[in-house]
Structure 1
């Protein structure tokens, strides 16, 4: 039995708590990123809006949430 921890980061808008738009999601549906540097790059670049994402809107009123997921793997031999 092994136990590992998966860490991911999400961008949360506290003003939209409990609604569909509480967490930022990219155009391809990604709402979790594995590295903090990718979150920083996204925040400095801004949110793509408008026609094909050509307009970049700066992030405002956001917080970065760190999500830690503990995964336990068990192996069992089954006889048939």
Structure 2
């Protein structure tokens, strides 16, 4: 028996920082993947928190949004275990 599941998530990428630690944007709690495009749009409109405790919001510049789709196949098998 097997079942396939698709997982879709979005990431914000800065092409100018390709190959470095800051290539993908991550929030204060470490999230760098969002499951809904509406959450990404809200984040882009609000801006990046900067400065003392994130009180200054800097607009996003030179970015691209990447959509990733993962296909996961789960299989279950009955195995016999000799005792």
- Bin of the TM-score, shorter chain as denominator length: over 0.9
Q: Which runs of no fewer than 5 residues in structure 1 stay unpaired?
A: none
* 1:21 alignment partner in structure 2: 22
Q: TM-score, normalised by structure 1?
A: 0.96
SS in 2 for 1:9: strand
Q: TM-score, normalised by structure 2?
A: 0.93
How many aligned positions are there? 80
Q: Whose radius of gyration is greater, 1 or 2?
A: 2
Structure 1 residue 50 displacement after superposition? 1.0
Structure 1 residue 21 displacement after superposition? 0.4
* 2:57 alignment partner in structure 1: 56
* 1:66 alignment partner in structure 2: 67
Structure 1 residue 73 displacement after superposition? 0.4
Deviations 1:27-73 (A, max 9, x none): 00000000000000000000001111111000000000001111000
1: CA distance between counterparts of 2:53 and 2:42?
Answer: 19
